[in-house]
Structure 1
Amino acid sequence: MAENAATRAGPGGKLFRAGFHALAALRGARAFHPDGLLLKGEFHGLRCDDLALPDEPVAVTVRMSKGAGLPGRLPDALGLAVRIPSADGAPWDLTLTSSGAGLVGRVLPRPSRAWTTGRYSTLLPYRTKGELVWLSARAETPRHAEASLDALRRLVTEGPVTYLVETVRANGHRKPCATLSLHEVDEDSSRPAFDPMLHPPRGWEPRPGWLARLRERAYEGSREGR
Protein backbone atom coordinates (compact mmCIF):
# COMPACT_ATOMS: atom_id res chain seq x y z
CA MET A 1 0.00 0.00 0.00
CA ALA A 2 2.81 2.42 0.90
CA GLU A 3 4.50 1.79 -2.44
CA ASN A 4 1.29 2.50 -4.33
CA ALA A 5 0.84 5.72 -2.40
CA ALA A 6 4.39 6.76 -3.15
CA THR A 7 3.84 6.02 -6.81
CA ARG A 8 0.73 8.21 -6.87
CA ALA A 9 2.81 11.02 -5.38
CA GLY A 10 5.13 10.93 -8.39
CA PRO A 11 8.94 11.18 -8.57
CA GLY A 12 9.04 14.09 -6.13
CA GLY A 13 7.18 12.05 -3.53
CA LYS A 14 9.56 9.12 -3.98
CA LEU A 15 12.59 11.36 -3.49
CA PHE A 16 11.00 12.97 -0.44
CA ARG A 17 10.30 9.57 1.06
CA ALA A 18 13.82 8.31 0.31
CA GLY A 19 15.39 11.40 1.90
CA PHE A 20 13.47 11.01 5.15
CA HIS A 21 14.17 7.25 5.11
CA ALA A 22 17.92 7.94 4.88
CA LEU A 23 17.88 10.58 7.62
CA ALA A 24 15.91 8.34 10.00
CA ALA A 25 18.23 5.40 9.27
CA LEU A 26 21.28 7.58 9.93
CA ARG A 27 19.87 8.77 13.24
CA GLY A 28 18.33 5.47 14.26
CA ALA A 29 15.31 7.54 15.24
CA ARG A 30 12.65 9.81 13.74
CA ALA A 31 14.01 12.00 10.94
CA PHE A 32 12.73 15.03 12.84
CA HIS A 33 11.74 15.26 16.51
CA PRO A 34 14.15 12.38 17.33
CA ASP A 35 14.33 13.11 21.07
CA GLY A 36 11.26 13.62 23.18
CA LEU A 37 9.51 13.00 26.46
CA LEU A 38 6.43 10.78 26.72
CA LEU A 39 3.76 12.08 29.07
CA LYS A 40 0.39 11.08 30.47
CA GLY A 41 -2.36 13.64 30.13
CA GLU A 42 -6.06 14.37 30.01
CA PHE A 43 -7.91 15.87 27.06
CA HIS A 44 -11.13 17.68 27.93
CA GLY A 45 -13.31 18.77 25.02
CA LEU A 46 -15.19 22.04 25.33
CA ARG A 47 -18.37 22.88 23.47
CA CYS A 48 -17.29 23.15 19.86
CA ASP A 49 -19.19 22.41 16.65
CA ASP A 50 -16.01 21.92 14.61
CA LEU A 51 -14.82 18.67 16.17
CA ALA A 52 -16.58 15.53 17.37
CA LEU A 53 -14.82 15.52 20.75
CA PRO A 54 -15.36 13.01 23.56
CA ASP A 55 -18.18 13.99 25.90
CA GLU A 56 -16.05 13.33 28.97
CA PRO A 57 -12.36 13.98 29.70
CA VAL A 58 -10.21 11.17 28.29
CA ALA A 59 -6.73 9.93 29.12
CA VAL A 60 -4.27 10.68 26.32
CA THR A 61 -0.67 9.92 25.43
CA VAL A 62 1.47 12.98 24.73
CA ARG A 63 4.97 13.38 23.31
CA MET A 64 6.84 16.68 23.51
CA SER A 65 10.02 16.92 21.48
CA LYS A 66 12.69 19.07 19.87
CA GLY A 67 12.34 19.17 16.08
CA ALA A 68 16.00 19.19 15.09
CA GLY A 69 17.07 17.39 18.25
CA LEU A 70 19.32 20.26 19.36
CA PRO A 71 20.94 19.61 22.75
CA GLY A 72 20.14 21.18 26.09
CA ARG A 73 18.19 24.41 26.17
CA LEU A 74 19.09 25.57 22.66
CA PRO A 75 16.01 27.02 20.91
CA ASP A 76 14.38 24.55 18.54
CA ALA A 77 11.11 23.92 16.74
CA LEU A 78 9.25 22.33 19.65
CA GLY A 79 6.72 19.59 19.03
CA LEU A 80 3.49 18.71 20.84
CA ALA A 81 1.88 15.43 19.75
CA VAL A 82 -1.31 14.01 21.28
CA ARG A 83 -3.01 10.67 20.65
CA ILE A 84 -6.72 11.02 21.42
CA PRO A 85 -8.93 7.91 21.58
CA SER A 86 -12.30 7.97 19.86
CA ALA A 87 -15.54 6.11 20.41
CA ASP A 88 -15.10 4.00 17.24
CA GLY A 89 -11.64 2.81 18.30
CA ALA A 90 -9.67 4.78 15.68
CA PRO A 91 -7.24 7.20 17.37
CA TRP A 92 -6.80 10.80 16.37
CA ASP A 93 -3.19 12.00 16.25
CA LEU A 94 -2.86 15.75 16.75
CA THR A 95 0.65 17.08 16.04
CA LEU A 96 1.62 20.71 16.52
CA THR A 97 4.87 22.66 16.23
CA SER A 98 5.95 25.93 17.83
CA SER A 99 5.00 28.72 15.44
CA GLY A 100 4.28 32.39 15.11
CA ALA A 101 0.95 34.18 14.98
CA GLY A 102 -1.05 35.44 12.02
CA LEU A 103 -1.68 33.73 8.70
CA VAL A 104 1.99 33.47 7.75
CA GLY A 105 3.23 32.74 11.26
CA ARG A 106 0.97 29.79 11.93
CA VAL A 107 2.08 27.88 8.79
CA LEU A 108 5.82 28.11 9.55
CA PRO A 109 7.75 26.37 12.34
CA ARG A 110 9.40 28.82 14.69
CA PRO A 111 12.25 27.98 17.09
CA SER A 112 11.22 28.58 20.68
CA ARG A 113 13.25 29.12 23.85
CA ALA A 114 10.64 27.55 26.13
CA TRP A 115 7.89 24.92 26.24
CA THR A 116 5.52 27.35 27.93
CA THR A 117 5.69 30.45 25.71
CA GLY A 118 4.21 31.27 22.32
CA ARG A 119 1.87 29.12 20.28
CA TYR A 120 1.89 25.69 18.71
CA SER A 121 0.19 25.09 15.36
CA THR A 122 -0.68 22.20 13.06
CA LEU A 123 1.09 24.31 10.37
CA LEU A 124 -1.03 22.74 7.62
CA PRO A 125 -4.75 23.44 7.78
CA TYR A 126 -7.55 20.91 7.50
CA ARG A 127 -10.58 21.30 5.26
CA THR A 128 -13.83 20.58 7.03
CA LYS A 129 -17.37 21.65 6.12
CA GLY A 130 -15.96 23.70 3.24
CA GLU A 131 -13.60 25.76 5.41
CA LEU A 132 -9.88 25.75 6.19
CA VAL A 133 -9.21 25.28 9.89
CA TRP A 134 -5.95 25.10 11.83
CA LEU A 135 -5.55 23.76 15.35
CA SER A 136 -3.46 25.73 17.80
CA ALA A 137 -2.38 25.42 21.43
CA ARG A 138 -0.83 27.67 24.06
CA ALA A 139 0.26 27.05 27.61
CA GLU A 140 -1.89 28.35 30.44
CA THR A 141 0.57 28.09 33.30
CA PRO A 142 2.57 30.82 35.06
CA ARG A 143 5.51 28.46 35.43
CA HIS A 144 8.36 28.58 32.94
CA ALA A 145 10.36 25.76 31.35
CA GLU A 146 13.21 26.46 28.95
CA ALA A 147 13.56 24.34 25.82
CA SER A 148 15.32 21.34 27.33
CA LEU A 149 13.81 17.93 28.03
CA ASP A 150 15.19 18.04 31.58
CA ALA A 151 13.40 21.33 32.23
CA LEU A 152 10.18 19.88 30.80
CA ARG A 153 10.49 16.83 33.05
CA ARG A 154 10.90 19.06 36.11
CA LEU A 155 7.95 21.22 35.06
CA VAL A 156 5.53 18.29 34.79
CA THR A 157 6.85 16.68 37.98
CA GLU A 158 6.15 19.89 39.92
CA GLY A 159 2.47 19.91 38.97
CA PRO A 160 -0.02 19.73 36.08
CA VAL A 161 0.67 21.81 32.96
CA THR A 162 -2.36 22.91 30.97
CA TYR A 163 -2.64 23.95 27.31
CA LEU A 164 -5.67 25.55 25.69
CA VAL A 165 -6.45 24.06 22.28
CA GLU A 166 -8.20 26.31 19.75
CA THR A 167 -9.52 26.13 16.21
CA VAL A 168 -8.27 28.94 13.97
CA ARG A 169 -9.98 30.13 10.77
CA ALA A 170 -8.18 31.64 7.78
CA ASN A 171 -9.39 35.09 8.90
CA GLY A 172 -7.66 34.60 12.27
CA HIS A 173 -10.81 33.92 14.31
CA ARG A 174 -9.97 31.66 17.25
CA LYS A 175 -12.35 29.46 19.20
CA PRO A 176 -11.41 27.33 22.25
CA CYS A 177 -12.21 23.66 21.68
CA ALA A 178 -10.37 21.72 24.39
CA THR A 179 -7.92 21.78 27.27
CA LEU A 180 -4.94 19.46 27.50
CA SER A 181 -3.51 18.78 30.95
CA LEU A 182 -0.12 17.08 31.36
CA HIS A 183 0.33 15.49 34.76
CA GLU A 184 2.91 12.70 34.68
CA VAL A 185 6.03 11.56 32.86
CA ASP A 186 5.34 8.15 31.28
CA GLU A 187 8.37 5.92 31.77
CA ASP A 188 6.71 2.59 31.04
CA SER A 189 4.51 2.76 27.94
CA SER A 190 5.69 1.82 24.47
CA ARG A 191 6.57 4.74 22.21
CA PRO A 192 3.68 5.31 19.77
CA ALA A 193 4.35 6.50 16.23
CA PHE A 194 2.22 9.64 16.03
CA ASP A 195 1.06 10.17 12.46
CA PRO A 196 -1.50 12.90 11.64
CA MET A 197 -1.71 11.66 8.05
CA LEU A 198 -2.85 8.16 9.05
CA HIS A 199 -5.00 9.32 11.96
CA PRO A 200 -6.77 12.64 11.19
CA PRO A 201 -10.01 13.75 12.88
CA ARG A 202 -13.08 12.21 11.27
CA GLY A 203 -14.29 14.38 8.39
CA TRP A 204 -11.13 16.52 8.35
CA GLU A 205 -8.85 16.50 5.28
CA PRO A 206 -5.27 17.87 5.44
CA ARG A 207 -4.75 20.66 2.90
CA PRO A 208 -3.32 21.64 0.47
CA GLY A 209 -3.47 18.17 -1.06
CA TRP A 210 -0.08 18.23 -2.80
CA LEU A 211 1.74 19.30 0.38
CA ALA A 212 -0.20 16.81 2.48
CA ARG A 213 0.91 14.04 0.09
CA LEU A 214 4.55 15.08 0.43
CA ARG A 215 4.16 15.13 4.20
CA GLU A 216 2.68 11.65 4.07
CA ARG A 217 5.73 10.45 2.10
CA ALA A 218 7.98 12.02 4.74
CA TYR A 219 6.20 10.14 7.53
CA GLU A 220 6.41 6.88 5.57
CA GLY A 221 10.15 7.27 4.97
CA SER A 222 10.81 8.19 8.59
CA ARG A 223 8.81 5.21 9.91
CA GLU A 224 10.61 2.74 7.64
CA GLY A 225 14.06 4.26 8.14
CA ARG A 226 14.06 4.09 11.90
Structure 2
Amino acid sequence: MAEEKAPQAGPVGKLFHAGFHALAALRGARAFHPNGLLFNGELQALGRDDLALPEEPVAVTVRMSKGAGLPGRVPDALGMAVRIPAVGGHPWDLTLTTSGTGLAGRVLPRPARAWTSGRYSTLLPYRTKGGLVWLAARAEAARNVEASLDGLRRLVAEGPVTYLVETVRANGHRKPCATLTLHEVDDDSPQPAFDPMLNLPPGWELRPRWLTGLRERAYEGSRKGR
Protein backbone atom coordinates (compact mmCIF):
# COMPACT_ATOMS: atom_id res chain seq x y z
CA MET A 1 0.00 0.00 0.00
CA ALA A 2 1.37 3.44 -0.91
CA GLU A 3 2.33 5.66 1.99
CA GLU A 4 -0.35 8.21 2.79
CA LYS A 5 0.84 11.75 2.25
CA ALA A 6 -0.12 14.92 4.06
CA PRO A 7 -2.94 16.78 2.32
CA GLN A 8 -2.09 19.75 0.11
CA ALA A 9 -2.37 23.02 1.99
CA GLY A 10 -4.40 24.77 -0.76
CA PRO A 11 -4.96 28.55 -0.73
CA VAL A 12 -3.90 28.88 2.92
CA GLY A 13 -0.69 27.03 2.11
CA LYS A 14 -0.01 29.41 -0.75
CA LEU A 15 -0.41 32.35 1.63
CA PHE A 16 2.04 30.73 4.07
CA HIS A 17 4.49 30.12 1.23
CA ALA A 18 4.23 33.70 -0.03
CA GLY A 19 4.44 35.25 3.44
CA PHE A 20 7.50 33.29 4.52
CA HIS A 21 9.11 33.87 1.11
CA ALA A 22 8.65 37.63 1.50
CA LEU A 23 9.95 37.69 5.08
CA ALA A 24 13.02 35.62 4.19
CA ALA A 25 13.73 37.82 1.15
CA LEU A 26 13.43 40.94 3.29
CA ARG A 27 15.84 39.56 5.88
CA GLY A 28 18.14 37.84 3.43
CA ALA A 29 18.00 34.91 5.84
CA ARG A 30 15.55 32.37 7.28
CA ALA A 31 12.12 33.84 7.99
CA PHE A 32 12.42 32.60 11.59
CA HIS A 33 15.58 31.63 13.44
CA PRO A 34 17.53 33.87 11.00
CA ASN A 35 20.77 34.03 13.00
CA GLY A 36 22.45 31.09 14.65
CA LEU A 37 25.66 29.28 15.46
CA LEU A 38 26.65 25.91 14.03
CA PHE A 39 28.25 23.40 16.39
CA ASN A 40 30.06 20.12 16.10
CA GLY A 41 28.28 17.85 18.52
CA GLU A 42 27.84 14.27 19.66
CA LEU A 43 24.70 12.27 20.26
CA GLN A 44 24.88 9.34 22.68
CA ALA A 45 21.89 7.00 22.91
CA LEU A 46 20.92 5.96 26.44
CA GLY A 47 18.81 2.97 25.48
CA ARG A 48 16.53 1.54 22.86
CA ASP A 49 13.21 3.32 22.52
CA ASP A 50 10.74 4.20 19.78
CA LEU A 51 13.48 6.41 18.34
CA ALA A 52 15.96 3.93 16.87
CA LEU A 53 19.11 5.96 17.51
CA PRO A 54 22.55 4.60 16.59
CA GLU A 55 23.85 2.51 19.46
CA GLU A 56 27.33 4.04 19.34
CA PRO A 57 28.06 7.77 19.86
CA VAL A 58 27.58 9.63 16.60
CA ALA A 59 28.86 13.00 15.41
CA VAL A 60 26.01 15.42 14.69
CA THR A 61 25.57 18.94 13.39
CA VAL A 62 23.68 21.30 15.71
CA ARG A 63 22.39 24.81 15.03
CA MET A 64 21.39 26.99 17.99
CA SER A 65 19.41 30.10 17.12
CA LYS A 66 17.04 32.85 18.27
CA GLY A 67 13.55 32.38 16.85
CA ALA A 68 12.59 35.98 16.16
CA GLY A 69 16.20 37.07 15.73
CA LEU A 70 15.95 39.55 18.63
CA PRO A 71 19.24 41.32 19.31
CA GLY A 72 21.82 40.65 21.98
CA ARG A 73 20.67 39.23 25.28
CA VAL A 74 16.96 39.97 24.75
CA PRO A 75 14.98 36.81 25.66
CA ASP A 76 13.64 34.95 22.64
CA ALA A 77 12.22 31.58 21.67
CA LEU A 78 15.51 29.70 21.36
CA GLY A 79 15.96 27.03 18.73
CA MET A 80 17.91 23.78 18.57
CA ALA A 81 18.21 21.96 15.23
CA VAL A 82 20.02 18.62 15.08
CA ARG A 83 21.06 16.70 11.99
CA ILE A 84 21.80 13.04 12.66
CA PRO A 85 23.87 11.59 9.78
CA ALA A 86 22.47 9.14 7.27
CA VAL A 87 20.78 6.18 8.94
CA GLY A 88 19.02 3.91 6.47
CA GLY A 89 19.72 6.16 3.51
CA HIS A 90 18.95 9.70 4.67
CA PRO A 91 19.70 12.02 7.59
CA TRP A 92 17.25 12.82 10.35
CA ASP A 93 16.50 16.45 11.17
CA LEU A 94 15.12 17.24 14.63
CA THR A 95 14.07 20.82 15.40
CA LEU A 96 13.15 21.99 18.89
CA THR A 97 12.17 25.35 20.40
CA THR A 98 12.02 26.52 24.00
CA SER A 99 8.49 26.00 25.26
CA GLY A 100 6.40 25.66 28.36
CA THR A 101 5.54 22.44 30.18
CA GLY A 102 2.41 20.31 30.25
CA LEU A 103 0.33 19.27 27.27
CA ALA A 104 -0.62 22.84 26.33
CA GLY A 105 2.74 24.39 27.18
CA ARG A 106 4.95 22.04 25.19
CA VAL A 107 3.25 22.93 21.89
CA LEU A 108 3.79 26.70 22.22
CA PRO A 109 7.09 28.59 21.84
CA ARG A 110 8.21 30.33 25.02
CA PRO A 111 11.00 32.91 25.33
CA ALA A 112 13.97 31.85 27.45
CA ARG A 113 16.53 34.06 29.17
CA ALA A 114 19.42 31.64 28.82
CA TRP A 115 20.51 28.81 26.53
CA THR A 116 20.63 26.32 29.40
CA SER A 117 17.56 27.39 31.40
CA GLY A 118 14.73 26.65 28.98
CA ARG A 119 13.05 23.39 28.05
CA TYR A 120 13.18 22.65 24.33
CA SER A 121 10.35 20.81 22.56
CA THR A 122 9.55 19.68 19.03
CA LEU A 123 6.23 21.55 19.56
CA LEU A 124 4.43 19.19 17.16
CA PRO A 125 4.18 15.53 18.18
CA TYR A 126 5.24 12.54 16.10
CA ARG A 127 2.95 9.63 15.42
CA THR A 128 4.77 6.37 16.14
CA LYS A 129 3.73 2.77 16.60
CA GLY A 130 3.42 3.54 20.30
CA GLY A 131 1.24 6.63 19.86
CA LEU A 132 1.97 10.35 19.96
CA VAL A 133 5.38 11.38 21.25
CA TRP A 134 7.25 14.67 21.53
CA LEU A 135 11.01 15.08 21.78
CA ALA A 136 12.30 17.40 24.48
CA ALA A 137 15.72 18.55 25.66
CA ARG A 138 17.07 20.33 28.75
CA ALA A 139 20.56 21.23 29.85
CA GLU A 140 22.12 18.83 32.36
CA ALA A 141 23.92 21.65 34.21
CA ALA A 142 22.68 25.18 34.85
CA ARG A 143 25.62 27.07 33.35
CA ASN A 144 23.38 29.97 32.47
CA VAL A 145 24.44 32.76 30.18
CA GLU A 146 22.32 35.47 28.60
CA ALA A 147 20.36 34.56 25.48
CA SER A 148 22.86 36.03 23.03
CA LEU A 149 24.84 34.19 20.39
CA ASP A 150 28.07 35.71 21.69
CA GLY A 151 27.21 34.47 25.17
CA LEU A 152 26.59 30.96 23.84
CA ARG A 153 29.90 31.03 21.98
CA ARG A 154 31.71 31.95 25.20
CA LEU A 155 29.82 29.30 27.17
CA VAL A 156 30.86 26.44 24.87
CA ALA A 157 34.43 27.78 24.66
CA GLU A 158 34.64 27.22 28.45
CA GLY A 159 33.72 23.53 28.05
CA PRO A 160 31.20 21.20 26.41
CA VAL A 161 27.50 21.85 27.05
CA THR A 162 25.32 18.74 27.35
CA TYR A 163 21.55 18.41 27.00
CA LEU A 164 19.41 15.46 28.05
CA VAL A 165 17.03 14.41 25.25
CA GLU A 166 13.75 12.79 26.30
CA THR A 167 10.66 11.32 24.71
CA VAL A 168 7.47 12.78 26.16
CA ARG A 169 4.08 11.08 25.93
CA ALA A 170 0.71 12.81 25.79
CA ASN A 171 0.15 11.85 29.45
CA GLY A 172 3.36 13.66 30.42
CA HIS A 173 5.50 10.55 30.93
CA ARG A 174 9.13 11.33 30.17
CA LYS A 175 11.86 8.87 29.27
CA PRO A 176 15.52 9.82 28.66
CA CYS A 177 16.69 8.58 25.27
CA ALA A 178 20.00 10.36 24.56
CA THR A 179 22.48 13.04 25.51
CA LEU A 180 23.43 15.79 23.07
CA THR A 181 26.76 17.53 23.63
CA LEU A 182 27.95 20.72 21.97
CA HIS A 183 31.75 20.62 21.60
CA GLU A 184 32.85 23.60 19.53
CA VAL A 185 31.55 26.24 17.15
CA ASP A 186 31.92 25.43 13.45
CA ASP A 187 32.39 28.77 11.70
CA ASP A 188 33.65 27.23 8.45
CA SER A 189 30.88 24.91 7.28
CA PRO A 190 27.77 26.20 5.48
CA GLN A 191 24.66 26.09 7.63
CA PRO A 192 22.39 23.30 6.33
CA ALA A 193 18.69 23.73 5.59
CA PHE A 194 17.15 21.59 8.33
CA ASP A 195 13.76 20.15 7.36
CA PRO A 196 12.00 17.99 9.99
CA MET A 197 9.13 17.23 7.60
CA LEU A 198 11.32 15.71 4.87
CA ASN A 199 14.06 14.13 7.01
CA LEU A 200 12.05 12.01 9.44
CA PRO A 201 13.12 9.05 11.55
CA PRO A 202 11.84 5.82 9.92
CA GLY A 203 8.26 5.05 10.88
CA TRP A 204 7.68 8.50 12.42
CA GLU A 205 5.26 11.11 11.11
CA LEU A 206 4.65 14.66 12.34
CA ARG A 207 1.07 15.40 13.34
CA PRO A 208 -1.44 16.89 12.82
CA ARG A 209 -1.12 16.49 9.06
CA TRP A 210 -2.96 19.69 8.14
CA LEU A 211 -0.52 21.72 10.25
CA THR A 212 2.56 19.93 8.96
CA GLY A 213 1.34 20.70 5.43
CA LEU A 214 1.23 24.40 6.24
CA ARG A 215 4.59 24.17 7.98
CA GLU A 216 6.20 22.56 4.94
CA ARG A 217 4.87 25.32 2.69
CA ALA A 218 6.34 27.86 5.10
CA TYR A 219 9.73 26.07 5.00
CA GLU A 220 9.62 26.02 1.20
CA GLY A 221 8.88 29.74 1.05
CA SER A 222 11.63 30.56 3.51
CA ARG A 223 14.19 28.46 1.62
CA LYS A 224 13.37 30.12 -1.71
CA GLY A 225 13.13 33.61 -0.25
CA ARG A 226 16.57 33.63 1.29
Normalised by the length of structure 1, the TM-score is 0.95
State the distance in 1 between where 2:7 and 2:106 align: 30
Which consecutive residues of structure 2, in runs of 5 or more, have no partner in the other structure? none
Distance 1:158 1:184 in 2: 10
Q: Which residue of 2 is the match for residue 211 of structure 1?
A: 211
Q: Residue by residue, what CA displacement relative to the aligned partner does 1:16-63 show, whole Å, maximum 9, x if unpaired? A: 111000000010000000000111100011113211110100100000
Query: What's 2:78 paired with?
Result: 78
Structure 1 residue 145 displacement after superposition? 1.5
Aligned equivalents of 1:16, 1:7: Cα separation in 2: 15
* Contact 2:21/2:31 (<8 A) preserved: yes
Please show how residues 6-21 of structure 1 align to structure 2 within 5 Å: 8-21=8-21
TM-score, structure 2 normalization: 0.95
Which shifted more, 82-91 or 62-71? 82-91
**Counterpart code for 1:204:** W
Partner of 1:57: 57
Judge conservation of contact 1:6–1:13 (CA < 8 Å) in 2.
Answer: no
How far did 1:118 drift?
Answer: 2.3
**Distance across 2 between alignment mates of 1:7 and 1:207:** 12
CA deviations 1:5-24 (Å, max 9, x no partner) are 99922111111111000000
| Cα offsets for 1:72-106 (capped at 9, x unmatched) | 00000000000001332310001000001100110
State the alpha-carbon separation in 2 of the partners of residues 99 and 49 from structure 1: 23
Question: In structure 1, what is the Cα distance between the partners aligned to 2:210 and 2:79?
Answer: 23
Report deviation, 1:201.
1.0
Distance in 1 of aligned mates of 2:139 and 2:7: 41
Q: Write out per-residue CA displacement over residues 167-220 of structure 1, whole angstroms, 9 at most, x where no aligned residue.
A: 000000000000000010101111101110111111100000101111111100
2:129 matches 1:129: yes
The share of aligned pairs that are identical, in percent, is 80
Question: Is the CA contact 1:6–1:14 (under 8 Å) kept in the aligned structure 2?
Answer: no
Q: Deviations over 1:113-151 (max 9, x none)?
A: 100002000000000015110000000123111100000
Partner residue of 1:152?
Answer: 152
1:48 corresponds in structure 2 to 48
Cα pair distance change 1:17/1:7, threshold 3 Å: farther
Check the 8 A contact 2:46/2:178 in 1, yes or no.
Answer: yes
Check the 8 A contact 2:6/2:210 in 1, yes or no. Answer: no
Partner SS for 1:165: strand
Counterparts of 1:118 and 1:186, CA distance in 2? 23
> Hey, which bits of structure 1, 4+ residues long, moved more than 2 A?
5-8, 86-89
Task: Tell me, yes or no, if the aligned pair for 1:48 and 1:176 is still in contact at 8 Å.
Answer: no
Number of residue pairs matched by the alignment = 222
Task: Give me the CA root mean square deviation.
Answer: 1.4
- Which residue is equivalent to 2:221? 221
Q: Structure 1: 5+ residue runs without aligned partners?
A: none
Tell me the equivalent position of 1:99: 99
Alpha-carbon deviations, 1:148-174, whole Å to 9, x = none?
A: 000000000000000000000000000
